[in-house]
């Protein structure tokens, strides 16, 4: 296809983990590196899209031509997504923490007994976006699964109101690794992609998004 197929389109990408503080010096996080999301943001920008990349804490360089907004927590990511709308498409790659704690103002002290930390549900950014009033025309989610990958991803597509789910088999060394095995779940069915470098998954997905927009 043409080089600038996404010219004039605004696309939101979320990427990376979230950090959920439990006190001023500690947090709950996950093993997401942000690599797949950053690669997707870069691939979309190379097709000419205006890309807003909302990223949790990662150690990656911002891809060329991408506007990056750094956040720490899921609630900050939700607010940043809202603030970045409207968009023609959204690709939600972030490994958003499912829970947050009530962060204490002072460092938690070691004592007789370890603290019991109560967890509260985080907003589901993808579901809120897909069901919200400013829904982008194309909403793409990711589903990292270690088993029954297709079944879980198919259920997730309907439950969250996404158009596509990129089902990600993370039973191997995907988290932080260079390659990825994904299946694209749409209303029309499931496409199985071979194991590919994350950059190639990104390039193919960007082309598919350009086809759809
Ligand atoms: O429910 P689960 O975490 O497996 O869903 C994964 C998909 O939903 C990903 O696209 C992820 O970015 C998105 N998500 C989100 N907000 C959450 C949880 C997941 O946007 N709180």
Tell me, using a 6 A CB cutoff, whether residue 122 lines ligand 1.
Answer: yes
- Residues 140-192 have pLDDT tens digits of 999 988 899 999 999 999 999 999 999 988 876 666 678 888 999 999 999 99
Do residues 92 and 142 lie in contact, with contact meaning Cβ atoms separated by under 8 Å? yes
Question: Which residue from 38, 92, 166 has its CB within 8 A of the most atoms of ligand 1, so it is best to mutate?
Answer: 92
Report the atom number in ligand 1 closest to the C-alpha of 126: 20
Q: Which amino acids are annotated catalytic?
A: 30
pLDDT beyond 70 at 58: yes
Helix (H) or strand (E) holding 43: helix 35-46
Tell me, using a 6 A CB cutoff, whether residue 167 lines ligand 1.
Answer: no
Using CA atoms, how far residue 7 sits from 56, 74, 131, 202, 207, in Å, is 26, 30, 26, 17, 13
- Provide ipTM, 2 decimals: 0.97
CA of 170 to the centre of ligand 1 (A): 15
pLDDT at 3: 78
Q: How far does Cα 168 stand from its chain's mean position?
A: 12
Tell me, using a 6 A CB cutoff, whether residue 74 lines ligand 1.
Answer: yes
Mean pLDDT of 77-103: 98
Phi, psi (deg, nearest 5) at residue 156: -65, -35
Please indicate, yes or no, whether the overall pTM of this predicted structure exceeds 0.90.
Answer: yes
Q: For residue 207, give every residue at least 6 positions away whose Cβ sits within 8 Å of its Cβ, in sequence order, or none.
A: 1, 5, 47
Tell me, using a 6 A CB cutoff, whether residue 130 lines ligand 1.
Answer: no
pLDDT at 176: 64
| Torsion angle (degrees, nearest 10) of CA 30, 33, 34, 39 | -150
């Amino acid at each position: 296809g043409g080089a600038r197929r996404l010219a004039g389109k605004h696309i939101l990408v979320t990427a990376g983990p979230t950090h959920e503080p439990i006190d001023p010096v500690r947090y709950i996080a996950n093993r997401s590196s942000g690599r797949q999301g950053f690669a997707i943001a870069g691939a979309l920008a190379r097709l000419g899209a205006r890309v807003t990349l909302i990223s949790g804490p990662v150690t990656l360089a911002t891809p060329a031509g991408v506007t990056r907004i750094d956040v720490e927590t899921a609630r900050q990511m939700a607010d940043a997504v809202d603030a970045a709308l409207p968009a023609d498409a959204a690709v939600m790659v972030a490994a958003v923490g499912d829970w947050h704690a009530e962060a204490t103002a002072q460092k938690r002290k070691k004592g007789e007994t370890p603290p019991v930390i109560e967890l509260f549900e985080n907003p589901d950014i993808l579901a809120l976006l897909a069901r919200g009033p400013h829904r982008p025309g194309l909403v793409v989610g990711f589903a990292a699964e270690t088993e029954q990958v297709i079944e879980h991803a198919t259920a997730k597509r309907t439950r969250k109101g996404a158009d596509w789910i990129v089902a990600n088999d993370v039973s191997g060394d995907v988290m932080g690794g260079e390659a990825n095995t994904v299946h694209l779940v749409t209303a029309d069915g499931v496409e199985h992609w071979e194991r590919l470098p994350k950059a190639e998954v990104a390039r193919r997905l960007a082309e598919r998004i350009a086809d759809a927009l």
